Amino acid sequence: MAETKPDKPGFFSRLFGRKAEEAPAAPAPETPQAGGEPEAMPSPPATAADDLTAAPPSVTTASPDTPEEDKVPPELAGADLQPVEGLDPEGTNPQEPLPRIVTETGPELRPDISAADLLAPEPAPAEVVPAPEQQPAASRGWWQRLTDGMRRTSSSLSESVTGLFTKRKLDDATLEELEDALVQADLGVPTAMRITEAIASGRYNKEISPQEVKAILAGEVEKALQPVAQALSIDRSRKPFVVLMVGVNGAGKTTTIGKLSQKFREQGLKVMLAAGDTFRAAAIEQLKVWGERVGAPVLARAQGADAAGLAYDALQEAKANGTDVLLIDTAGRLQNKAGLMAELEKIVRVVKKFDPTAPHATLLVLDATVGQNAVSQVELFQKAAGVTGLIMTKLDGTARGGILVALAAKFGLPVHFIGVGEGVEDLEPFTARDFAKAIAGLDTAS
C-alpha cells in the first residue's frame, strides 16, 4: 500500500503559526486468537485535562516541509507577522485601503471618506481686504466734527421745515405748519413763533426757497443763543476755584470732568479731582482712571462714604497743595427724588462752611437725548444747587438738539461747552453762530 503524506498546511495556517494536524491512522482490527487468553481491556482514553500541552508560540515558524520559496526570510525571523492591509488572506484579490485620519490619539480609519478627498488640495485662504482707515477726529477740525455730530438734528429739521416751501407760496396754512414743525423740533414755542414771523415778514403770498428758509432759521437761532454763549472763566485769584458737577445718572458727568481736567491742564492749571459719587464704585474707579490719564490727583473714599465729608476733605487738601481748580463729582440724582436732592443741598452747605464763596461754579451736565425732560432738570437742580452754567453732551446721538435753544430762551443760563463725541477734542466751548448754522444744515462755518 502506498504511503500517505500528511496534508500540507495552507498559507493562512502558516501565516498564523498553526500546523496542520495529522489525522491518526485507524488501528487495524485484530482477529481474536482461538483458545487464547482473553485480551486485556484497553485503558480509557486520556482526557484533555490529562494531556495539556503548551500554547504554540506567537512567532511563526516555517514547516520543515514548506517549499524553499515559501519560507520566512532570515531578516524576518522572529517578527510578529500580521495580515497586510489591502490583501485578502485567503486569496489574491486586492482591496482598496481604507483612508486614515490622523487625530490626537493616532491614525483613525474613516470608511466614510475616500482617499481622493484626503488628497484634494486645501482651499486657498480668503483674501483679507483691509478696512478703510478712518480720519482721526482731531484732524477734521471742530466745525466738521460739529456738523457731523449734529447731522441727525439738522436732517430732521430740514426735512420737516424746508419741505413745506417746495413750490408753495407763504400763506396762513403754511406758516401754521412751519410753527408746528419748529415746536416739534424742541426749539420751544417762543423761538418757533419768532422764526415764523421772520420768515413771513415781507414774503407773505410769495414763494421762498429752502435755502432762504435755512438762512433765516440759522439767523434766528443765533439771536436766541448769543446771550448765553459764554466761556467758563476761571478766577485764578481764588485757590482753589471750586467747580461742582451735577446731573442725573447717565448724563456724562464723570467723563465730562475728565475732559475738562485735560483742558485745564493744557492751560497750565493745577487740577485736583474729588470722587464725590460714593454711591457707585464704578464712578470712583472711572474718575481715578481719568486722573491718571491727565496727571491730576484724585481724592476718593470707599463706596458708601459720606459725600459731603469727602468734599470738605478735598477742599482742605486742595488748599494745602496750592491747587488752582478743584472739580467735585456728585452722584447722579433724579430730579424728582426729593431725598437725593436734599443730599446735594447738604454738599453745597458743607462746601460753603470752608469757603463762603464756593462753589464758584455749579455746572449742570445735560444729555441732549432727553429732549423736553431737560427743562425740568434745570428747574430742580437750579433750586437745589444754584446752577450757574450748562454743558450739553451727546448731541451726536439725537435728533433733538434743538432743546438747547428752548433752554436758552427759558432760563438764560450760560452754556459753556457742548459735546459731540467721546474724545477729549469732542468737548468744545459753545459758540452760538456755529451751533446755529450746524442745526440749520448750512455747510459753511462762521
Q: Annotated binding site for GTP, which residues? A: 247-254, 329-333, 393-396
Pairing of the two strands 298-299 and 271-274: parallel
Convert 204-214 to b/e letters by CB count within 10 Å (16 or more is b): eeeebeeeebb
Annotated binding site: 247-254, 329-333, 393-396
Compute the distance between CA of residue 259 and CA of residue 294 in angstroms, rounded to an integer.
Answer: 9
Of the chain, the end-to-end C-alpha distance in Å amounts to: 133
Q: Look up residue 410 and give its three cell numbers.
A: 427759558
Is-contact 371 396, C-beta < 8 A?
A: no
Q: Residue 193 contacts by C-beta under 8 Å, 6 or more apart in sequence?
A: 179
Q: In terms of residues, how long is the chain?
A: 446
Number of other residues whose CB lies within 10 A of the CB of residue 9: 17
The CA-based angle 48-51-57, given to 5 degrees, is 105
Q: Residue 336 contacts by C-beta under 8 Å, 6 or more apart in sequence?
A: 376, 380
